[in-house]
Amino acid sequence: MTYVDGFVVPVPKKKLAAYRKMAAKASKVWMKHGALSYVEAVADDVKPGKSTSFPQSVKLKDGETVIFAWITYKSRKHRDQVNAKVMKDPYMANFDPKTMPFDGKRMFWGGFKKLVAM
């Protein structure tokens, strides 16, 4: 049984290269500490909806795009163990919310138990 952490974050298009660099480093940290996989994807075919949508979920502004990402683990217990190690990693100590290439206040995330997988 696998466990998934998923998150959605708005990123200014002009900061996408900086975000990609940060995500590439973060992926190495999570994988080093035991994550099974780490994926970050940028919106390609994502349109505003009438009631809900990815753009609406993060209150997308002009000049921004949406990142949809997930990290997989063996279980929730494994996720908690990996994340505890990640939070103690020296790389994480350098994060300053004021210099992040995205608005963390509009980011959302959560942990999910696998329901169906092929």
SS (H, E, C) the chain: CCEEEEEEEEEEHHHHHHHHHHHHHHHHHHHHCCCCEEEEEECCCCCCCCCCCHHHHCCCCCCEEEEEEEEEECCHHHHHHHHHHHHHCHHHHCCCHHHCCCCHHHCEEEEEECCCCC
* pLDDT higher than threshold 80 for residue 97: no
Q: How far apart (Å, rounded) are the C-alpha atoms in residues 112 and 3?
A: 6
Residue 92 is predicted with a pLDDT of 86
Residue 34 is predicted with a pLDDT of 98
Q: For 75-89, what is each residue's pLDDT tens digit?
A: 999 999 999 999 999
* pLDDT higher than threshold 80 for residue 15: yes
Fold of 3-113: Alpha-Beta Plaits (3.30.70)
Average pLDDT of the chain, as a whole number: 94
Range 88-103 average pLDDT:
86
Q: For 37-89, what is each residue's pLDDT tens digit?
A: 999 999 999 988 888 999 899 999 999 999 999 999 999 999 999 999 999 99
Residue 90 is predicted with a pLDDT of 92
Residue 48 is predicted with a pLDDT of 86
Query: What is the token pair recorded at 108?
Result: 């959302």
Q: Categorise residue 113: left if φ over 0, alpha if ψ from -120 to 50, beta otherwise.
A: beta
Give percent of the chain with pLDDT exceeding 90.
Answer: 80
